[in-house]
Amino acid sequence: MNHYETVFILNPVLSDIQIEETVKKFENFLIKNGAKMVSKENWGLKKLAYPIQHKKSGFYHLFEFASPGETISPYELEFRRDERIMRFLTVKLDKHAISWAERRRTKLKAKA
């Protein structure tokens, strides 16, 4: 299994319930396809560096997960099909990025 990280931006006009449903949809998709969720983070509403679809802000979310490689293509296809998603980026993590992500998570837990 490979480790991946996905950051996606949701449309800012969505309600809290719609945001929660969308995040749950993608989490369930991963789990159903054999992925193991490592971490989920809600970064909240942030201002965009440039307008996307005439919007100046968006709700950011981060998923870190371990998954077989063949899961990624259909996963990204689901992002493209969902009109609530403005942008997304999935990257495969190497051993250095995995250790950095673990350190970042422990720092966040220490702050909380």
Which tens digits make up the pLDDT trace of 36-87? 999 999 999 999 999 999 999 999 999 999 999 899 999 999 999 999 999 9
The CATH number of whichever domain residue 85 belongs to comes to 3.30.70.60
Rounded to an integer, the average pLDDT of 10-19 is 95
Question: How many angstroms from the chain centroid is the CA of residue 78?
Answer: 13
The per-residue pLDDT of the chain, averaged, comes to 94
Q: How many domains does the chain have?
A: 1
Cα 88-93-95 angle, rounded to 5 deg: 165
List strands edge to edge, sheet with 2-10: 36-52, 55-67, 2-10, 85-93
Domain, as residue range, for 12: 2-111
